[in-house]
Amino acid sequence: MTTLAAVGIGAGIAATFLHWRPFRVEIEGPSMSPTLEPGDWALAVAVGQLRRRDVVVIEHPTRPGFEVVKRIIARPGELTSVGRLLRSDEFWVEGDNRGASTDSRQFGPVTRDRIRARIRLVYWPVSRRRIL
């Protein structure tokens, strides 16, 4: 491999990293079970287009600095499970294990600026490895 090719590959990797800004998330608690189990390690990437059913990392609205993982149930302009119409910057999030989840049903909708990342891949344990 030539030096120029190595530099090109390195630049491509760096550009991809800067664009997606990936980071590791360790799942704690049962609120996203069975999709995500306590002890799962997942790869999260910078938020782009958000769709209903995406699994996202959010900053808890009433606990600044505390991040939780939830699923987007409704997007701006949609009606929530409790009959509320979401404003242009609001998302409704819930845990997959509703009986063990503190989510929008308790703290209300979350604004776009509270959504930190989208979970893309569960990579540990190996037996649970998959793309979300």
Sign of CA dihedral 59, 17, 37, 33: positive
Cα(118)–Cα(114) distance, rounded to whole angstroms? 12
Q: 4 to each of 7, 37, 85, how far by Cα in Å? A: 5, 44, 54
Residue 81 designated active-site: no
Cα(69)–Cα(95) distance, rounded to whole angstroms? 8
Residue 104 designated active-site: no
Q: 44 near 117, Cβ under 8 Å? A: yes
Tokens 């998302």 map to which residue? Answer: 91
Q: Which has the closest alpha carbon to 103: 114, 113, 87?
A: 114
Q: Which residues carry out catalysis?
A: 31, 70
